[in-house]
Amino acid sequence: MQIHWDRFLTEKVAKRLEPSLIGEMMMLVKEREAISFTAGEPSADLYPLEELGKSFERAFGEPSLFAYYPHNGGLLELRRWIADWMKGDGLAPRSLTEEEILLTNGSQEGIHLLAEAFIAEGDAIVVESPTYPEALLTFRRQGARFLSVPVDRDGIVPEALERVLAEAGPVKFIYTIVNFQNPSGYTTTDERKAQVLALARRYDTVIIEDDPYRHLRYEGAPQGSYFALDGEGGRVIYLGSFSKIVVPGIRVGWMALPPELADKMTELRVSCEISLPALTQYALWDFLKDRDLPHYLSTLRGAYRSRRDALAEALRGQCGPLGLEIDVPQGGFFLWGRIPWVKDMVAFARYAIEEERIGFIPGRIFFADETEGADTIRFSFAKVDGDLAREGARRLARAMTSYRSALNN
């Protein structure tokens, strides 16, 4: 007898999950052996595998790590290291301790736990327009009602935020990606942060500050964090990750929490999983603790900076004359752009992979309101060296030319 699963599954699972368009593009790229400007992940040639390998060997010499780890928030040594690192960097108030750091399976798990903790069916939340689609997926699954607020080169636009907060009634939180935002590459200035935090206080809502790209700044002055700016106000939750600066496969991120929330979030975690692997957390801690981190990060930055410049130059040279406009960010992994004459970027993305074997991400999926962003486009330069950038840009230019003439015929 055939089972009709929709009868058994919750609405959350049966109706609110859908295949990811990023996944489709990455799969198509693979099938067609296309040049890819799709994946927002670090470049494998920059993985510090030799050093990490030694750290894993040392972790294997610690038998206690093979038992259930007794601290539900994660490895104490790593949590202490993160608390000190954040304070040293001016990202957290001096009062922060390891008690307020909860290790997660990448910052994506932090997003999931916060969605579970905060969002009840129909609750309003503010998201940036555009924003990170996997966060939208998680919040949508939970039943969130999205209030989209535009971002410009300095971050969330405060006047737009104020209008939304004034009209919406209670808002559970504002979800914001503060540095080299995915996908726009924009960074929220400290001046903007002060304005947004003042609004969050006035309208009594909370800020979730997602910050996986902070340490990939290629130029300009580093900005502070909402978490530090709020001090002991207890209104901000900070999400960090080692995915972009060490390796994504190690799956270590963290939440820095207001003290009153730390126990509750840890209890929530225990209701989902007993613990995360202390073995990998130990290996990461071992890797980090004796490292010359500024030197390590500056090597990464140097490599990504030249990739950014190569792709920006190639796209401007080849595709600019055909109508592609791009924003070049001060850090992170993404160039964000528009082709104003392309009215359906999803169709063009499929065409470009099929006809010219060049992949990129259509921008529409980064908007909570999917009628927005039809002509926008995201390119990731993280895994693209100069030769690939130039060849990819030539292919994109050919795809633009033939697509335009097909549209005109």
Which residues contact ligand PLP by CB under 6 A?
Answer: 40, 106-108, 132, 177, 182, 210, 212, 241, 243, 248, 253
The minimum distance between CB 403 and ligand PLP, in angstroms, equals 28
Look at residue 262 and give its three-state secondary structure.
helix
Measured from the CB atom, the residue of 40 and 359 that comes closer to ligand PLP is 40
- Could you identify the residue written with the tokens 């225990």? 270
CB of residue 248 to ligand PLP, shortest distance in Å: 5
CA 54/CA 40 separation, integer angstroms: 27
Greatest CA separation for the chain: 70
Whole-angstrom Cα distance, residue 128 to residue 125?
10
Contacts of residue 90, Cβ cutoff 8 Å, sequence gap at least 6: 224, 225, 228
Least separation in angstroms between CB 206 and ligand PLP: 17
Residue 150: asked if its preceding bond is cis (omega within 30°), the reply is no
Tokens of 393: 């840009």
Contact assessment for residue 248 and residue 262, using Cβ atoms and an 8 Å cutoff = no
- The nearer residue to ligand PLP, 182 or 205, going by C-beta atoms, is 182
Q: Least distance (Å) from ligand PLP to the CB of residue 247?
A: 10
* Shortest Cβ 279–ligand PLP spacing (Å): 18
245 vs 324, which CB is nearer to ligand PLP? 245
- Comparison of 265 and 400: residue with beta carbon closer to ligand PLP: 265
Name the residue whose CB lies closest to ligand PLP.
Answer: 106
What is the smallest separation between the CB atom of 132 and ligand PLP, expressed in angstroms? 4
- Six-digit token pair at 350? 């499929």
Closer Cβ to ligand PLP, 382 or 400, answer by number: 382
For ligand PLP, the closer CB: 216 or 314: 216
**Consecutive H or E run containing 327:** strand 325-327
**What is the smallest separation between the CB atom of 182 and ligand PLP, expressed in angstroms?**
4
Q: Which is nearer to ligand PLP, 256 or 342 (CB)?
A: 256
State whether the Cα torsion 353-356-361-367 is positive or negative.
negative
Cβ atoms within 10 A of the Cβ of 162, count?
Answer: 17
Spatial distance between the Cα atoms of 170 and 184, rounded to a whole number of angstroms? 28
Residue of 282, 288, 354, 300 lying closest to 46 (CA atoms):
300
- Both tokens assigned to 325: 């406009």
